[in-house]
Chains A and B, each alone.
Chain A
Amino acid sequence: MLSSLVQKFIDQSPLSSNNDHRPSKAALFRDQFRLPAGQHPLHEITAELFLPLPSSAAAGPLTSGEKSRDSGNRYVGDLHLSEHFLCFSTIRTSFLPGASHTASIAFTGPTQGAGPGGNGFTLPLCSIRRVERLNSHHDKFSLALTTFESLQKALTDKTKASLPFPRKLVLTLDGSRLACERFCDGLKRGLREGMKEVDSLRTVVSQCFSEYLLDPARLKAREEGTKPPDPPDTGLGILFRYPGDARKLRDKSKIRLWGEYMRENGRNATIVRQPTFHKLIRVGLPNRLRGEIWEICSGSFYTRLRNPNLYEKTLAKFTGQESLAIDEIEKDLNRSLPEYPGFQSEEGIGRLRRVLTAYSWTNEEVGYCQAMNIVVAALLIYMSESQAFFTLGALCDRLLPGYYSKDMYGTLLDQRVFENLVERTMPVLWEHLVKSDVNLSVVSLPWFLSLYINSMPLVFAFRVLDVFFLEGPKVLFQVGLAILRINGEELLDVHDDGSFISVLKNYFSRLDESAHPHSENEKLRAITKFQELMVTAFKEFAGITHASIEELRAKHIDNVKAGLATFAKRTSIRNLGPESKKLSADDLSAIYDRFFSVLAERQKRAKLREEERRRQEQQKTRPGLWTHHSDRNHDEPARNIAPLQTMDYDAFREFLANTAKWALTDSPTSVSKDLSKPVTSQRNRSHTLLQWGSGPQPADHDFMQRLYGKWDESHQGEMTLQQLVRGLARIKGTTDIMNSMSLFFELFDDDNTGKVDREGILRMSESLLFLSRRGFDGTITPSDFGNGMISPVSAADAKDGLQMSTNEKFLGSVSAFIRRCFEYADPDEVVESTSSKLQAATINEPAEEEDLLDLTETKSVSKQPASPKPAEHDPLSEVTPPGTAVKPTPILEGSRRSSSRAASHNLALDPSKPLHITLPTFRMVILADELLEQFFESFFPQSFHLSDSPNSSTVSLPSSTLSGNLTTFSNLGTPVKNLINGASNKTVIDVGRAGGVVEPGSRGLRGVLDNIVNDGMRMAAEMRKRMEETQREFERNAREQGHSRPYRDEEDDDDDDDDEKGAELGRRDQELLEGAEVASIKTEGSRSRAVSSATTETGTGPKKGEGGGGGGRDLG
């Protein structure tokens, strides 16, 4: 239920809209008007834009719409209001499928689809200085907008009669009264907000060449021969000349035409697009205005307006830092348009370096991609650094999505789309290419990737760019198709890649030549190949629209992404190193998928959490206003974060939870407790839920931490896929029991000394219990009839009886494990007193003996008479009565010298006498027990489910696993609660009996689980208690100096205990409980951590211990 809530939340989040390929309405809106992030279509209304003709200026200020009805241009279109912009376009907006504006067709410019095509404007609200409500007939709303520059002009140039009147834009809203009023209210509110940004506007505008061009001060200075104001930075071209011959390009007259246009239609922030605007762009922009128009068309102007100092701030923020991107940038700085003089100078290279570097910091997902250097170099010829920086952002984010990203999917996708278009529009050529096995992408890829800049001579490439920024990416396709069409004849004669390339190379080098050199018609002869290309591109391929491109992209994107994913996976798996070869290809593939899906999911959830946090913050700071568009304040362009490639510990836990049953938490719905780690800021419950998403929730246990610590070779919390695979390959790659024992041992060998100390032994046993607490999937069979092969999980339920007894027996094995470990442990080389020396000598003996056994007869060790009785003899007697289970006495029945036994036992518990076991000892102890042997032989390696597992369904259907768990635990629910609430007698009995008696259904299973955990805790507690007891004993002994047999007494006590079990049990339980409490309360150092992590698993540590104890008494 909770998971479905989470799912719902995820579904509603903006992130999920990226999953299907339909962009949101807001995204379409922003694309249409090239608006920065954070803008939403708040209000929209059909409107008529009326632009009075300047010639009517003499008529004086406009007072009524009626009066000037015939002396101006009218456009019908959609008027949109966003948080910071008022936009108008005659082009039907793609996100309003129902709307149709036939009336505007006549005025529709040559552009179709996204981008600031059509006629209209994109006005930052802060640029509007006055809005007047006009008297209108027909019961319509008419507004007259006055923008800042016309006011400014009116103020400064009052004296000059020749200047045009203050420009006004008249908008007549076409809608119900209510709709109009609502729109006006919104506008009012927006205008008020917009006042705050006037300063930014002033800054940004002052850097525009148009401002300088039309500056009356400049004109005046020129007339008077005085020094004009400094022009703004218009790129390297002003220092190193602009490419091409300015006279041939007719740069002066173009500037003049633009000057005229902008005087009438506004400039930079307030320019209104009329048909002339599009025409002026088609004939090529004048050098010094080029950067500014690119900026406005691409929309980077508006992004800059929202955050004018981002470029400088970014540079300052990351000064002196290094990154891979910077290294890559450095390699290419000297080879970006090297033929342009500006880039043979420190000045030009410095600008290029700064822009590329700053951008790489703001967009980590892209960083730096070769070809960006060429594009930015081209931009810098016409733009200031800051302008180029924002324009690069517009390119990467909007105009060329995915072109420069890490996998370059956009590049590949558009190549596919381009091929598709060639096939569709030039089937003969396409067939020829296919037949001659010529790969079109080989030539076309660089066209798209570097926007024709290094394919065509610069002057022509910039002409393409002019249109590209206005009309969008479809221009790249149109030009590409036109190139192929024009060269079609020649290309049909070509049969290999090489000649294909050279035909086109040759064509590009002759773009300035006449297209019809032999024509009689002089006009025809004057047409250059480039002009022919442009005409072909935009006339013949006018049908290539933004919409048709988008459609083709949508068709191919899944394919392309899948291809890339396969490629990345194939490459990545191939390069995982020699150890990975131990795993099957299926396993590797499963690990790869799981690794990255866990990381991707986590990143997604982190993003959601971050958004949630921001939303809450915002609600706190500005309640009420604009709340329905909560991210409007994210003006700071969100830094694109590169996808994660490494796992931290939590991600690793999640991976394990998808891999091994034991890694699932026992309390999936509760807040996960990271007792051992500093709790990361979990602000509320929903955050915690999001922490693990809808997948299985992982446990947190010392064992998992150790596994992570071991595998994460860098020890920086960054586990790579390779490290993970290496770790898994070591466990699963060989089925050798020796190997799997050593791996386990190494996990606890903290300082690589080959020794595991007392603490480590306890932890080993805790880990064994942790790993086994969800059963063995049939990998372990206590008697001889099974061969240890896996039986499916589903079968486990049916075999409840068997499983329970297996668990019981395993518990016995673990308790025996502890005893034996302590018995055979070697003391550390501590020389304190003669007595301890003596003890050390005695204890070394048996350990050595066993070493020999271990080496010579590994397989038959369990049958050695010297080794303790295997658990199968009578597991219940050892396990169920809690008192006896952990009793140290039955360690060595008969075959050992009792004195040595007692001594070793006591020594084992003596905290002042450090001891350790070595790998051989560990192996011996394991092999001495059938169940533990099977545990390491089959269960341990097999518990990691990769491709082969029935468990693998958890990956594809995580929710099913979760619900499975929920079922288990809902069954458990009541009794566990009873336990927690102080244990009615009956429940207690249940728990206890579950150990020995088969209970029907889930209760039995629960009993097993509880029992295992209980007993494990009890055992650990008992060991600690005994350690403390012994310490006390030692202290007592120390006080009674000269005691001849210091340990004899104690041993006698033990023996007595054995004899009068029943009588002593009550007292023992009491002690045991105390021990448990002491152990769990203890805060000192790592020891308490082990216990508390064990208790965390059940969630009810001490109380359960109590229940278990009670159960034991009943049975006893």
Chain B
Amino acid sequence: MADQSSAPKPSSSVKLVLLGEAAVGKSSLVLRFVNNDFQENKEPTIGAAFLTQKISLPSRIIKFEIWDTAGQERFASLAPMYYRNAQAALVVYDLTKPTSLIKARHWVAELQRQASPGIVIALVGNKLDLCAESSGDNDSAADSPADAEEGGAEPGEAEPTDNGDARKISTREAKSYAEEEGLLFFETSAKTGTNVADVFSAIANAIPETSLKGSRGAAGGGTQAALSGAANRADEARVNLADRAKQKSDNCAC
């Protein structure tokens, strides 16, 4: 797009799959990420929906090929078809629904055993907007991805409070699980946009250089700091957000 022309960056595509219990907001996360939109009523995903979105890192462009899978339990047997060869996975749960984290754990276990080795998994607790504290923090930030990024930069600090909070899964619990399993971890709101872009940026940064295949003849422009550890990811994510905000307006055609 516009920023691409000035400095042609290598472009690579990443296959990403979304998994998680029904109605945790998988499709909404994708819709927020791809169209910066939120819909109350979306047709349920039959099998899987396919969408793409590009994200620009300092050194390259990542084109996400997103497989948004059906969440209903019985569709689980179809999932291998979709996570086959995936380089990244978003395992989504609903912060207000404890069973959804159990299901998420099951997905993580399945991915770790059955998906391609080295798959980057991000654990995402969605519906942050329903949690009292975060909504207090982020009221002003709602609907603006650039602002949302500030508000949600430190998902780890949110702790459950009791007053009118629908949150059922504490940040600490999920985070420690994520650390244990070596997952990226975010709490998001597809409705307000909080942290949504960060998730995808972090994933883009976490994909090991070696597993990237250039999609348009960009033969592995290999000077990235992609190998930098998880510690750097958050920073990079923030940097890239500016890019992404700009990109958003151009990208609608996709």
CB within 8 A of B23: which of A331, A371, A442, A445? A331
Distance from A916 Cβ to chain B, minimum over Cβ atoms (Å): 39
Residue among B43, B47, B80, B109 making CB contact with A449, cutoff 8 Å: B47
Name the CB-closest residue of A to B114: A570
Contact B84 A439, beta carbon cutoff 8 Å: yes
A498 near B52: Cβ-Cβ < 8 Å = yes
Residues of A within 8 A of B34 (CB): none
Contact A442:B70 (CB < 8 A) given known A332-B44, A373-B44, A567-B77: no
Instruction: Report yes or no: A338 in contact with B23, Cβ–Cβ below 8 A.
Output: no
Question: How many A-B residue contacts, CB cutoff 8 Å?
Answer: 84
Q: Is A406 interfacial (CB-CB < 8 Å)? A: yes
Q: Which of B41, B52, B72, B78 contacts A338 (CB 8 A)?
A: B41
Report B31-61 CB contacts with A as 1/0, cut-off 8 Å.
Answer: 0000000001111111110101000000000
Q: Does A575 contact B106, Cβ atoms closer than 8 Å?
A: yes
Among A370, A496, A497, A568, point to the contact of B77 (Cβ < 8 A).
Answer: A568
Q: Which residues of B contact A335 (CB under 8 A)?
A: 41-44
Given A406-B74, A574-B113, A575-B109, A439 and B81 touching (CB < 8 A)?
yes
Q: How far is the CB of B191 from chain A (nearest CB, A)?
A: 16
A446 at the interface (CB under 8 A from B): yes
Question: Which parts of A526-579 form the interface with B (CB within 8 Å)?
Answer: 564, 567-568, 571, 574-575
B115 at the interface (CB under 8 A from A): no
Interface residue? B142 (CB, 8 A):
no
Minimum CB–CB distance for A954 against chain B, Å: 30
Quote the shortest CB–CB distance from A16 to chain B (angstroms).
Answer: 26
Please, which residue of chain A has its CB at the minimum distance from the CB of B112?
A: A574
- C-alpha spacing A437/B65, complex, angstroms: 15
Q: Which among A374, A454, A497, A571 is the interface contact of B110 at CB below 8 angstroms?
A: A571
Given the known interface contacts A496-B65, A567-B77, the answer about A442 and B43 at a Cβ–Cβ threshold of 8 Å is no
Task: Kindly state the separation between the CA atoms of A496 and B12 in the bound complex, as whole angstroms.
Answer: 13
Other-chain contact of B50, A332, A336, A442 (Cβ < 8 Å): A442
The residue from A328, A411, A454 contacting B43, defined by CB atoms under 8 A apart: A454
Residue A412 is within 8 A (CB to CB) of chain B in the complex: yes
Contact in complex: B44, A412 (CB < 8 Å): no
Using Cβ atoms and an 8 Å threshold, which residues of chain A touch B78?
408, 411-412, 445
Query: A369 at the A/B interface (Cβ < 8 Å)?
Result: yes
B85 within 8 A of A: yes
Which residues of chain B have C-beta atoms less than 8 A from A369's C-beta? 72, 74
Cβ–Cβ contact B84 & A374, under 8 A:
no
Residue B75 lies at the interface, judged by CB distance under 8 Å to chain A: yes
Residue numbers in A under 8 Å from B113 (CB-CB): 574
- Residues of chain A contacted by B85 (CB below 8 angstroms): 437
A603 at interface, CB cutoff 8 A: no
In the complex, which range does the number of interface residues on chain A fall in? Answer: 35 or more
Q: Which of B187-207 contact A (CB under 8 A)?
A: none
B82 interface residue, CB < 8 Å from A?
Answer: yes
Find chain B residues with CB under 8 A from A853 CB: none
Q: Nearest chain-B residue to A366 (Cβ)?
A: B74
Asked if A968 is an interface residue, CB under 8 A from chain B, the answer is no
Instruction: Name the residue on A nearest B76 (C-beta).
Output: A571
* Bound-complex Cα distance A437 to B106 (A): 27
Instruction: Decide if A501 is an interface residue (CB 8 Å cutoff).
Output: yes
| Any B CB within 8 A of the CB of A334 | yes
Contacts of A564 in B (CB 8 A): 77
Bound CA span A496–B106, Å = 29
Known: A412-B77, A574-B110. A454 touches B22 (CB 8 A): no
Given A370-B72, A441-B81, decide whether A454 and B46 contact each other with a Cβ distance below 8 A: yes
Question: B-facing mask of A938-962, CB < 8 A → 1, else 0?
Answer: 0000000000000000000000000
- A386-412, CB under 8 A of B: which get 1 and which 0? 000000000000000000011110011
- Find residues 55-111 in chain A having any chain B CB closer than 8 Å to their own CB: none
B22, B42, B76: the one contacting A328 at CB < 8 Å is: B22
Instruction: Give the docked Cα–Cα distance between A503 and B82 (Å).
Output: 19
Q: Determine if A357 is an interface residue (Cβ-Cβ < 8 Å).
A: no
Bound-state Cα–Cα, A736 to B46, Å: 51
In the bound complex, residues from chain A placing their C-beta under 8 Å from that of B41 are 334-335, 338
- Measured CB to CB, the closest approach of chain B to A163, in angstroms, equals 49
Q: What's the minimum C-beta distance from B168 to chain A, rounded to whole angstroms?
A: 17
Judge whether A450 is part of the interface by a CB distance below 8 angstroms: yes
Contacts of A497 in B (CB 8 A): 50, 65
A337 contact set on B, CB distance < 8 A: 43
Which residues of the partner chain A approach B50 to less than 8 Å between Cβ atoms?
442, 497-498, 501
The reply to whether A571 and B106 contact each other, CB–CB distance below 8 Å, is yes
- Inter-chain CA distance A126–B172, complex, in Å, is 70
Query: CA A9 – CA B247 in complex, angstroms?
Result: 71
Residues 65-103 of B contacting A (Cβ, < 8 Å):
65, 70, 72, 74-78, 80-82, 84-85
CA distance A437 to B82 in the complex (A): 12
B140, chain A: closest CB distance, angstroms: 30
Specify which chain A residues have a CB less than 8 angstroms from the CB of B72 in the assembled complex: 328, 369-370
Chain B residues within an 8 Å CB radius of A336: 43-44
Report chain A residues within 8 Å CB of B76: 571
Return chain A residues, CB-CB under 8 Å to B43: 335-338, 374, 454
Give the residues in chain B near A454, CB-CB below 8 Å.
Answer: 43, 46
Partner of A442, one of B13, B40, B81, B106: B81
CA distance A412 to B77 in the complex (A): 9
Collect the chain B residues with CB atoms within 8 Å of residue A575's CB.
Answer: 106, 109
Find chain A residues with CB under 8 A from B74 CB. 369, 405-408
Residue of A374, A568, A574 ringed by the most chain B CB atoms within 10 A: A574
**Shortest Cβ distance from residue A353 to the other chain B in the assembled complex, whole angstroms:** 14
Residues of A within 8 Å of B75, CB to CB, are 370, 408
How far, in Å, is A814 (CB) from chain B's closest CB? 44
A574/B109 in contact, CB under 8 A: yes
* CB 8 Å contact bits of A314-342 with B (1 = contact, 0 = none): 00000000000000100110111110000
Give per-residue flags for A444-480: 1 if the beta carbon is below 8 A from chain B beta carbons, else 0. Answer: 0110011000100000000000000000000000000
In the bound complex, CA of A501 to CA of B109 (Å): 29
Smallest CB gap from B77: residue in A = A567
Which B residue's beta carbon lies closest to that of A495?
B215
Q: Among B13, B47, B81, which residue has its beta carbon within 8 angstroms of that of A446?
A: B47
Cα of A412 to Cα of B113 in the assembled complex, Å: 22
- Which chain A residue lies CB-closest to B102? A575
Cα distance A445–B69 when bound, in Å?
12
Residues of chain B within 8 A (CB-CB) of A370 are 22, 44-46, 70, 72, 75
- Expressed in whole angstroms, the minimum distance between the Cβ of A123 and any Cβ of chain B is 38
Bound: A374/B72 CA distance, A: 15
Residues of B within 8 A of A374 (CB): 43, 46
Question: Does A574 lie within 8 Å of B106, measured CB to CB?
Answer: yes
A331 and B109 contact, CB distance less than 8 A = no
Tell me if A408 and B106 are in contact (CB < 8 A).
no
Specify which chain B residues have a CB less than 8 angstroms from the CB of A407 in the assembled complex: 74, 77
CA distance A833 to B84 in the complex (A): 78
Alpha-carbon gap, A406 to B74, bound state (A): 5
Q: A337-B43, A369-B72, A496-B13 are in contact. List 12 more A-B contacts (CB 8 A).
A: A331-B23, A370-B44, A370-B72, A370-B75, A437-B85, A442-B50, A442-B81, A442-B82, A454-B46, A501-B50, A567-B80, A574-B113
The 6 A-B residue pairs with the shortest CB-CB distance in the complex, in nearest-first order: A334-B41, A445-B47, A446-B46, A370-B44, A335-B41, A335-B43
Task: Show 29 residue pairs from A and B whose CB-CB distance is below 8 angstroms, ordered by the A residue.
Answer: A328-B22, A328-B72, A332-B44, A334-B41, A336-B44, A338-B41, A338-B43, A370-B22, A370-B70, A370-B72, A370-B75, A371-B46, A406-B74, A408-B74, A408-B75, A412-B77, A442-B50, A442-B81, A442-B82, A445-B46, A454-B43, A496-B13, A497-B65, A498-B50, A498-B52, A568-B77, A574-B106, A574-B110, A574-B113
